[in-house]
Chain A
């Protein structure tokens, strides 16, 4: 029973990272240490123990002088009744609020001490607002909401999931996760067909945002191998996800430097004879052995796992990564590249189009808009997101030599052959025509023919269609 409680992802546990949403809509990330108090600044403080073991999804109000909390039902969705008011009479002037700044401050500190509730403060402000009654109903609602965001002492613990963690970092520090937005990330997961039990090869420079999203979708079944550069993988985002051990165990890493065993790389057993070691040396041996075993295990995964997807969200040139890693991906499996700027993927797309191992590369960008949906007040939000990044996805294929048709490699070779043949033929004709002119023309290529065959190749690829290519293929001899 104890252990099932500890694994239940639906309730709040001690030691977890949690996002706390405040009335201002700001979100704060906190680590829940038992027996401590978390301060939310002007929105008060609450005791961690009060939310431990509770289900996610509730909103709490801080009340009383002792920072007690109770569940709170937000009432922002109230319908607004139309009135005759309009803003003709309203003069923008500080005098409409009859309370002085000092008085408002005093109310605020009373609120913080728990002597007044947020609602009471807002009501006081409303009552002492000379022009409140003149406002339109919409304006009144907006005023109350705005003031509420300042004085209500309510908060909502938010469970870290791919969506919420991504949203948090996208708003707070987009550079950290290389600007990948919820919608783009969700498409990345779809395009790469992530599901429980698959093996995924990842190059993730989004500080682990992509790895986290994949790990959540796999739910502890399958393998993720992250190839990293530098001393450590820096999958910082993963720690916010509160993953169970089972899920954490699916994430393995391997440094680019360690993919192949270097000539000077020796196992601890080759370096030292363990039977001769004592004390500190023995400890050192075990440390090295552990590190060595981890690398060996990751290598084994890379070479033997047969990957079901290659996901690249790297700062490095994607082609250079694919050249190294594509060989480990099985046939009919997706290859998905993310980059914050689509321009960075244009050359990659051209490269993919030419590669016989990749089919149908598609460059996509996502557009996302959020709207306010209050009854009678529905409209798109006034400020929206900038870019969410671009995805380039293709399918790994096996370029089998087939009898009837030619593989892309063969076709290119044949075109080259044809060119040579035509050129040779023309040279012969020339020689016949201007016999005696022994000028060597064997080393040059006819530009006309070259261009023609290139045109064919590109046209075929643009259409993404082998058959069109076939039909345009220059006839053999």
Chain B
């Protein structure tokens, strides 16, 4: 089943066949917050809280497949096997330093005007988050020179790039570029500096640029004071078009909320009051009886006389709605900010019913052949977004500038 691919798996590009093979890296997606990189080796098993997953079960599957836990070990869970991409790696990589996330990564790559086949400098390598995205964008025809002054980190990055199949076009060097420079001349199209003192590396960066063409530089600094010093350095070394940006990505939470009119709310409240009265009247009945009565009514068993005889329209529906409220309340009763608890619980339940399954419910209320109309109050549902309470407010300032190509003497004489 598994064709042997000539191509080694790389985080920076897909494999020609989309099949999980021995030795491949796979990202196990457990849920939105939990993903883990695993290296597929036969006879091995991946253990997690959702069960034991045999690597042998993964081999031969298409990437993106859902795989179940080994049934013999009693697992009932499943997970998805995803192809490792730079974006996923950024979410799960071991942090050796602070890392760049997708908003800054994307904007920097776009503003540096990177194309496949270009060469560029990155300093420092850090945890290699940005390096993977850069490797993807520059492609195997391009080259990334990445510098890290911390020896352990440089080593770890180097090993990672080899493991991830991107080392052919990434060169890692352990070097303090602020002191010793990049030692590259006339070599690169773009430079990215994520350093505490980027201004110390500007001159060396200038030399590294291909001298006869336009180049782009970006420095990434959390503090405005760093930016000010870098601006002066860039200006002194003849860089043009100095611009600064901040970019944030906001993930929206989506939910469905009921939008009650005040009339509907009043009606609901009245129904509750009437129900309370009715219950008070039913002194003799045990709790169990009342419940079963309610359910019988719910079932639409064509309205047993004692209940339908009451004077309120929505009473017959009340037991059902209360039950709904309780059910939904266990999942997420705090989700809706409607003023009263009863309404908010009710609201959640109703919003959840708004799937095709709710059709029988509506049919039922129409079908009921009692003299009194017993309309269930269905509020208008609204799909809304909101931003999570806590979210990034600042990452770093992105300072961009253009390297102005050398003007040949011939041009000057014109």
Q: A342 near B252 (CB under 8 angstroms)? A: yes
Residues of B within 8 A of A434 (CB): 304
Any B CB within 8 A of the CB of A286: no
Any B CB within 8 A of the CB of A261: no
Any A CB within 8 A of the CB of B6: no
The residue on B at minimum CB distance from A367 is: B248
Residues of B within 8 A of A402 (CB): 66-68, 78
Q: B299 near A451 (CB under 8 angstroms)? A: no
Q: A368 near B107 (CB under 8 angstroms)? A: yes
> In the complex, what's the smallest C-beta–C-beta distance from A463 to chain B, in angstroms?
7
> In the complex, what's the smallest C-beta–C-beta distance from A65 to chain B, in angstroms?
16
Q: B63 near A330 (CB under 8 angstroms)? A: yes
The residue on B at minimum CB distance from A458 is: B352
A459 vs B51: C-alpha distance when bound (angstroms)? 21
> In the complex, what's the smallest C-beta–C-beta distance from B331 to chain A, in angstroms?
4
Residues of B within 8 A of A17 (CB): none
**CB within 8 Å for A397 and B66 given contacts A346-B385, A366-B103:** yes
Any A CB within 8 A of the CB of B228: yes
Q: A56 near B214 (CB under 8 angstroms)? A: yes
**CB within 8 Å for A451 and B352 given contacts A190-B87, A306-B18, A369-B245:** yes
Any A CB within 8 A of the CB of B336: no
Q: B302 near A439 (CB under 8 angstroms)? A: yes
Task: Pick out which of these stretches binds chain B: A68-76, A118-126, A204-212, A227-235.
Answer: A68-76
* Residues 25-71 (chain A) with a chain B CB within 8 angstroms: 50, 54-59, 68-71
The residue on A at minimum CB distance from B367 is: A444
Task: Identify B68's interface contact among A159, A217, A362, A404, CB under 8 A.
Answer: A404
Residues of B within 8 A of A462 (CB): 332
The residue on A at minimum CB distance from B87 is: A190
> In the complex, what's the smallest C-beta–C-beta distance from B254 to chain A, in angstroms?
5
Q: A186 near B110 (CB under 8 angstroms)? A: yes
Residues of A within 8 A of B247 (CB): 183, 366-369
Residues of A within 8 A of B94 (CB): none
> In the complex, what's the smallest C-beta–C-beta distance from A449 to chain B, in angstroms?
10
Any A CB within 8 A of the CB of B191: no
Total count of chain A residues near the partner, CB < 8 A: 112
The residue on B at minimum CB distance from A445 is: B360
Task: Identify B300's interface contact among A370, A444, A470, CB under 8 A.
Answer: A444
The residue on A at minimum CB distance from B328 is: A455
Q: B250 near A365 (CB under 8 angstroms)? A: yes
Task: Identify B32's interface contact among A330, A360, A439, CB under 8 A.
Answer: A360
Q: A448 near B77 (CB under 8 angstroms)? A: no
Task: Pick out which of these stretches binds chain A: B36-44, B133-141, B174-182.
Answer: B133-141
Any B CB within 8 A of the CB of A430: yes
Task: Identify A10's interface contact among B66, B140, B214, CB under 8 A.
Answer: B214
**CB within 8 Å for A466 and B79 given contacts A217-B137, A450-B357:** yes
Any A CB within 8 A of the CB of B156: no
Residues of A within 8 A of B407 (CB): 58, 71
**CB within 8 Å for A398 and B78 given contacts A217-B137, A364-B251, A375-B231:** no
Any A CB within 8 A of the CB of B183: no
The residue on B at minimum CB distance from A473 is: B76
Task: Pick out which of these stretches binds chain A: B113-121, B197-205, B259-267.
Answer: B113-121
Any B CB within 8 A of the CB of A427: yes
Residues of A within 8 A of B65 (CB): 331, 397-398, 400
Any B CB within 8 A of the CB of A407: yes
> In the complex, what's the smallest C-beta–C-beta distance from B267 to chain A, in angstroms?
19
A434 vs B301: C-alpha distance when bound (angstroms)? 11
**CB within 8 Å for A450 and B87 given contacts A195-B13, A398-B65:** no
Residues of B within 8 A of A369 (CB): 245-247
Any B CB within 8 A of the CB of A191: yes
> In the complex, what's the smallest C-beta–C-beta distance from B249 to chain A, in angstroms?
5
Q: B242 near A50 (CB under 8 angstroms)? A: no
Any B CB within 8 A of the CB of A363: yes
Any B CB within 8 A of the CB of A426: yes
A393 vs B115: C-alpha distance when bound (angstroms)? 23
Q: A364 near B295 (CB under 8 angstroms)? A: no
Q: A10 near B213 (CB under 8 angstroms)? A: yes
A294-309 interface mask toward B, CB cutoff 8 Å, 1 = contact, 0 = none?
A: 0000000000001010
Residues of B within 8 A of A452 (CB): 327
> In the complex, what's the smallest C-beta–C-beta distance from B147 to chain A, in angstroms?
23
Any B CB within 8 A of the CB of A441: yes
Q: B18 near A183 (CB under 8 angstroms)? A: no
B168-197 interface mask toward A, CB cutoff 8 Å, 1 = contact, 0 = none?
A: 000000000000000000000000000000
Residues of B within 8 A of A405 (CB): 66, 68-69, 76-78
**CB within 8 Å for A162 and B385 given contacts A219-B115, A332-B64, A450-B353:** no
A327 vs B298: C-alpha distance when bound (angstroms)? 42
Q: A370 near B244 (CB under 8 angstroms)? A: yes
B80-117 interface mask toward A, CB cutoff 8 Å, 1 = contact, 0 = none?
A: 11110111000000000000001101110111010111
> In the complex, what's the smallest C-beta–C-beta distance from B346 to chain A, in angstroms?
11
The 3 A-B pairs with the shortest beta carbon distances in the complex, nearest first, are A331-B64, A57-B214, A402-B68
Interface, chain B (partner A; CB < 8 A) = 12-14, 18, 29-32, 49-51, 61-71, 75-83, 85-87, 102-103, 105-107, 109-111, 113, 115-117, 133, 136-137, 139-141, 210, 212-215, 224, 227-228, 231-232, 235, 238, 240, 242-252, 254, 256, 295-296, 298-302, 304, 320, 323-324, 327-328, 331-332, 349, 352-353, 355, 357-358, 360-361, 363-364, 367, 383-385, 397, 399, 402-405, 407, 411-412, 414
Interface, chain A (partner B; CB < 8 A) = 9-11, 50, 54-59, 68-71, 73-74, 77, 79, 159, 161-164, 182-183, 185-187, 189-191, 193, 195-198, 216-219, 221, 306, 308, 330-333, 342, 346-347, 349-350, 359-360, 362-376, 378, 390, 395-400, 402-405, 407, 423, 426-427, 430, 434, 437, 439, 441, 444-448, 450-455, 457-459, 462-468, 470
